[in-house]
Chains A and B, each alone.
Chain A
C-alpha cells in the first residue's frame, strides 16, 4: 500500500496483490517499453507525508517523473486504472474506492495523461499486474484474469543508447 515501481525491462512483472478500495494506477509508454504502477490508498495528501504512491495528488506527478527518468516520453504516457472497489456494500462509510478513482482521474487530467481503460468499482477485490512490454491485466479472487491492454509498441523507435 502506497508503493510505486517503474521498469523498462521487457518481461518484468509489477504486481499489486489484493486491491480493495485502493487503485492500482498503471502508466505506460508503449514505444519506449517503460511501465509503472502506483498503489494509491487515499485521494488527497492534505499536506501529510507518506510513501510516494499513497495519495493520488502526489502519486501521479511522482510516477510521471519516475517514468521519464526510465526513458519514457511524457506526451506518450497512457494510464490504466484498476481497483477502487466498494468491498463493503452496507454502511454509509467505507466508499473510499469511488473517491480514489475520481481523484486519480482528476490528477491524470491535470497532468494531460490519457486513460486507456479502467477496471474500477463494484464489490470485488482485484490484483493489478503489468508484464512490461506485454500486457496489463486485472485478476479477481480465485484467479480469473482479464487482459486490459496489450503493450506492444505502436511504431518502431530506436533503442535508447547505453542500456
Chain B
C-alpha cells in the first residue's frame, strides 16, 4: 500500500534533514577549508516517475555517490554532484577529476558528508544507521536515481526523498544530498518525534 504523509510529517522530516545537513555542511567546510552554503532542504513523497524528475534533469551527466544504509533505518544516501562540482571538489582536494583517484576522492566526500549527516540524524532520533563503503558512478542523473529508487521503493509506489542542497560559496559546485529511506522507513524517523506513523 502507498504510505501517505501529512504536511506536519513532511515538515518534521524537512527539519531533520535541515539539522543533519547543517552538520554535514560544517564537515565539508572543514575538509575543504571553504565556506559552504546550505539551502532549505526539500522533503517530498512522490510517485516513482515524478521522483526522478524532482531530482533533476534526467539527461544531465553527474557523479553519484551512494551509501547503502543498514541498521534501524534501511535506505540509501545518494550524493549527486554536477560535472562542474566534481571538477571543483577534485581541484580543491588536489586530485584530477575523472581518474581513479578523483573517483575515490568523491567517494571520501560521500563518506564524510554521510557520516556527519547520519550522526546528527541518529542523535535526534536514537536510530542506529550503518553506511556501506561509498559506491561512485558517473552517468545520466536519471539512470542513477532510477536505479536507487528501484532499490529503496521496491514494490511500494511512493518515493520519499529528503533533498538537501550544498554549494561551495563562490564556486560552480552543486551537491544534492539525498536520503532515500526504504519503503516504510520514514516511520522509524517519525516515531521518535511523537508523530503518528504514515497511514498505510
Contacts and interface: CB of A to CB of B under 8 A. Distances in A.
Interface of A: 1-3, 17-22, 41-42, 45-46, 48-51, 54, 85, 87-91, 93-94, 96-97, 123-127, 141-142
Contacts of B147: 20-22, 85, 87-88, 94, 96-97, 125
A141 B155 CA distance: 28
A88 B141 contact: no
B45 to A, nearest CB: 15
A97 B155 CA distance: 15
A1 B151 CA distance: 13
Interface in B107-151: 132-133, 135, 137-147, 149-151
A45 B68 CA distance: 24
B137 A88 contact: yes
B157 to A, nearest CB: 6
B135 A89 contact: yes
A60 B59 CA distance: 27
A43 to B, nearest CB: 10
Nearest to A47: B155
A85 B48 contact: no
Given A21-B147, A125-B144, A126-B143, 20 more contacts: A18-B58, A18-B141, A18-B144, A18-B146, A20-B142, A20-B146, A21-B146, A22-B146, A41-B150, A85-B143, A87-B137, A87-B147, A88-B135, A90-B135, A94-B66, A124-B139, A125-B143, A125-B147, A141-B138, A141-B140
